[in-house]
Amino acid sequence: MADEHYDTIVIGTSQGGRFLPVELAKAGQKVALVERDQLGGVCVNRGCTPTKTMVASARLAYQAGRGAEYGVRTGPVSVDLAAVRERKRAMVTGARGNYASRLPQDGLELIEGEAHFTGPKSIEIALTDGGTRQIDAPVIVIDTGARPRPLAIPGAGDVPVLDSTSIMELDELPEHLIILGGGYIGLEFGQMFRRFGSEVTIVQRAARLLRSEDQDVSDEVAAILREDGITVSTSSTPVRVEPADGGRLRLGVRTQDGERQLEGSHLLAAIGRVPNTEALTTEAAGIRLDDHGFIEVDEYLETSVPGVYAMGDVTPGPAFTHSSYDDYRILHANLIRHEKASTRDRIVPYTVFIDPQLGRVGATEHEAKAQGHAIRVAKLPMSAVIRAIETGQTRGFMKAVIDADTGQILGCAVLGSEGGEITTMIQIAMLGNLTYTAMADAIFTHPLLAEGLNSLFAMFDARGGRCHTLVT
């Protein structure tokens, strides 16, 4: 029997789970918010806020080292990693504290502890301060997120293995950081620590980095990282790790040319994430999971149990903070205004925060072909964008994919300075169902990076002789 009844229970406080319970309480509901760890979830504590804070420090170190290119004289550049860490911690503490201070005035009850289901609508909480508490509600929302996937190769228990959380707590620079994984996390930390001054090797099991991207994008990213002094080893499978002399470690890697040994000072596992569903005992509620342990939901974010919803990284699909926030938008509309908002056909952009940034929205060239579109593709090097030339940020390119029959924009990748911001402009055009001609004919402030979009989309009809690379 439950100790107390609520209108809604929200388990977890990631991006969506931070805002939904506030709005439910404002709508007059009695809401329980359950959190086992730190308020704010991954984004505030271990993801967006801390990593992008550290990326900013790394970029400043890199730009300072380029001073002579701009006619600016600087002395030797060095990085105080302990100071970088403290700046990161202060940023996180501020973001977390701002949310915590608002809970009482928002009318929410925060219950600190680990929640697990005892039935379809009933929860038992192992309280952080000891004891348990039984609560129930007709509506339950799960927002428990995900965590780094642990490394599972022989010897992994015999050496220190960093993950995306623990690496941000280092106070001394690694001499040689070996990174397992060539996805967003591995690339962002790889370039970051290279710019801080570490030797960096990225080991990728697949044949290329960022394997969801087109080949040309992946190849250009790899070229940029190698230009920065990072060793990139693709088609390389870690098979074992062991301690080496002097507190170092030795990693055995199977490649197409046979097995080789890599020796480094630190090892970062950036090999994906796993959902936080084990402690929930979802089987007690009848909540269905997929083969990877993620909670299955329909387009309205409802699980296999009516009245129980899931949002954010604990569900299948892209694990982005902005996706989680859009999940909040959907549940807010449906649970409070009784609408039928859906995830169907939503356009989810993303940015890889390397430098230059990689912004992506819509279909890749490969995906557009697989979807059956007759397509046209245009590419514009950043070295042809006036603003990029003026600022000395000419690495990368813009790439657009359109439907050859309708002129609709199907997707775009911008690997360039502020690539994420530029890609957002393409997303807005796609949301408005604009054709490529609207972007080709738009007036953008001169000289902005966005002006490159004029040239990129004008390439589809080669107006003004601005065609650089066009594939029909």
The residues carrying an active-site annotation are 446
Q: What is the DSSP letter of 284?
A: G
Q: What is the DSSP letter of 60?
A: H
Q: What is the DSSP letter of 302?
A: B
The neighbouring-strand residues paired with 119 are 122
- DSSP H helices, 74-183, are 81-102
In the numeric block, the tokens 């007690």 are attached to: 284
Antiparallel, parallel or unpaired: β 199-203 and 231-233: parallel
Q: Which sign, positive or negative, has the C-alpha torsion 55, 61, 66, 68?
A: positive
Q: Give the 3-state secondary structure of residue 259.
A: strand
The neighbouring-strand residues paired with 250 are 242, 263
In the numeric block, the tokens 């929200």 are attached to: 10
7: nearest Cα among 126, 118, 143, 108: 108
Asked whether 163 and 192 are in contact (CB, 8 A), the reply is no
Instruction: Please count the other Cβ atoms lying within 10 Å of the Cβ belonging to residue 10.
Output: 29
417: nearest Cα among 468, 451, 441: 451
